[in-house]
Amino acid sequence: MNGEESPRTPALASGPHGPGALRPLLDTVLDALAAGARSRGGPLPGGGPEAVTARIAGVLGDVLADQGDPDALRALVHALAEGAADPADPLCAAHLHCPPLAVATAADLAVSALNPSLDSWDQAPAASALEAAVTRALARATGLADALVTTGGTESNQLALLLAREAHGGSVRLVCGANAHHSLPRAAWLLGLPDPVVVPAAGGTLDLAALDEALTTLSGPLLVAATAGTTDAGLIDPLPEIAGLCAAHGARLHIDAAYGGGLLFSDRHREKLAGLDAAHTVTLDLHKLGWQPVAAGLLAVARPGELAVLHQHADYLNADDDTEAGLPDLLDRSLRTTRRPDVLKTAVTLKTFGRTGLGALVDQVCAHAREFAALVEEHPGFELYDRPVISTVLFRPAGAADAAVAAVRRRLLHEGRAVLGRARLDGRLWLKATLLNPHTRPDDLVQLLKLAEEGTRA
């Protein structure tokens, strides 16, 4: 090259030299994560969106510069950690956004390094076998027969509506509560279904009398969607009664258990999901009450034969003669083509802790929610919405207007002191604490309430 030194070919993550290339890079990442967290100094960065955007812009510079920067890994990981909302901080308690287990995160690194793709067996021999075994086991835990891996509750709910539509010859009408996740009516729109029938959910759960009336009045194929763990308050619809109404009226039943599905691991709380096994489809999401890195969703199905509607043929992926020769056909396992084996981290978690170990984590966060609710109830300056069903607590400053409640949350966010959510129930705005960190201590709960109190006074 005219005497010029040729550029060094970058190292790969897999292959015989992959582990050696990764080790020093992992040290860089871990050091940058720790340094970024120290710089942040709390559950999220202070200063609000403008300050965070400015810091990122300062580190990022020219995104596609002519020359590379060998310090990019350290600098950008540090910036991301410094600007993160850290779900492992006990004062970060707004959303169904769990702190992932270390062992699950380590397993996810293996997936990134090996980079299998679950659209054909020859790209993911072991991963495809692992996914088949783990999804069947988790489906059986719900009382159903099989399950598909998804990116989360939104994709699972969309798939559930798609399967219902195809099972009914091309059209079905969604009947859901006012408490249902927004992804359900969005899926109905996306799939070209009629406008959903929204049933009242007074008190946060689906009204049985109103559902019975709707099912009696409506004609044509119907899909009822119940919720096991509402996003706003963690409430569970009366599943056995809803299942009975569906059976009596010949309606199909889908249960969105993206939040509450993790209760299946707990001997103490599993009974709250009675009736789950009566559903045709069930949404699960283990990056909520399962401590998995995003993404870790599933759709469990009662009738595996219905999955045939997902089948597509592409000769380079599932040629007929290959399938006849025994190579598994993976194209009926997802709407996606390229697909990473997110099931590895879940399999590692299940094998490492077992149902008992995961159940203990569920019990801990549910206990934390009860403890926090008791603190709120005892505090004269706050009003408690109700005792928690799972791990969500709604509360508000006593006598405060909705605008003041919203201002408390935003003030804490801007200062980087605490991350609380918000929910509107019974016509009023509430602060929301979603407790998913099993390492939370009683002092942390006291501090969270104290910060809310200080935000009210400011």
Q: Which residue shows structure tokens 């679950």?
A: 118
Instruction: State both tokens at 291.
Output: 């401590």
- Residue 440's pLDDT is what? 98
Distance CA 140, CA 134 (A): 10
- Residue 457's pLDDT is what? 81
Q: How many CB atoms lie within 10 A of CB 143?
A: 16
Distance CA 435, CA 94 (A): 8
**pTM for this prediction:** 0.96
- Residue 6's pLDDT is what? 58
CA atoms within 13 A on the CB side of 59: 19
- Residue 8's pLDDT is what? 86
For the chain, list residues with pLDDT below 70. 1-6, 458
CA atoms within 13 A on the CB side of 209: 1
Longest dimension (CA), the chain: 84
Give the model confidence (pLDDT) of 117-171 as tens digits: 999 999 999 999 999 999 999 999 999 999 999 999 999 999 999 999 999 999 9
Contact 291, 361 (CB under 8 A): yes
Instruction: State both tokens at 259.
Output: 């939040």
Closest to 182 in 3D by CA, of 200, 198, 194: 198
Q: How many CB atoms lie within 10 A of CB 401?
A: 12
Contact 181, 157 (CB under 8 A): yes
Q: Which residues contact 199 (CB under 8 A, 6 or more apart)?
A: 175, 176, 177, 178, 206, 207, 210, 211, 214
